[in-house]
Structure 1
């Protein structure tokens, strides 16, 4: 059950965005606090490079896994460095809905005010 989520984080952390195609269903949805949903595999695959473009480096480290038959919840520690060298660090929570060993939905929560403060400082 954990394999597609582990592959998701490995691909994101390596900037291997093409590898994400294998873990998503065609109708995958990404829901992030404060943002409009991103729907469909093609839109989702274009989404991540845009979101992470400003980071010279970034890493989502899972610090806790909670697993059910239909979903996985992960607590994340995001660490990154912007293009100008400033660090960005924040906790997040991701919920992954799964169907047939593929991710159908990712819902992400984090403190948007804190992240905005770090990025726009």
Structure 2
């Protein structure tokens, strides 16, 4: 296992532990975050705010994680997200504790021993169907 895949495994271990600080310790100050169906959120502070909002509205766990190494500095991840929708987010259906399971792909750039880009994709229509939207 390369240092880069180890970094991403640690990122997902922190994610699964609900450890936002642990995740933040692995990203660069100028991380570029591209969430599914959303606009670029540049910088660690924006990523911190995103994680806080996710922690408020969802409880999630990444399972069946598979990592793919690309050229130096690039790692992709495929996994199943098992989640529960806890608090309603603007523009989304009302949260009533609905459970969902979705295949997800995430893509990472790495530089200087830190994650410099996080891009995540999943099927929003499938999620909406599962939570009753």
Partner of 1:10 in structure 2?
13
Partner of 1:119 in structure 2?
131
- SS of residue paired to 1:25: strand
Larger Rg computed on CA atoms: 2
Report the RMSD for the aligned CA atoms in angstroms.
1.6
What pairs with 1:11-90 in structure 2 (closer than 5 Å)?
11-55=14-58, 57-68=59-70, 69-83=72-86, 84-90=96-102
Normalised by the length of structure 2, the TM-score is 0.81
Residues 5, 67 of structure 2: 8 Å contact kept: no
1:33 Cα deviation from its structure 2 partner = 2.8
Say how many residue pairs are matched.
120
Residues 74, 94 of structure 1: 8 Å contact kept: yes
1:109 aligned to which of 121, 126, 129: 121
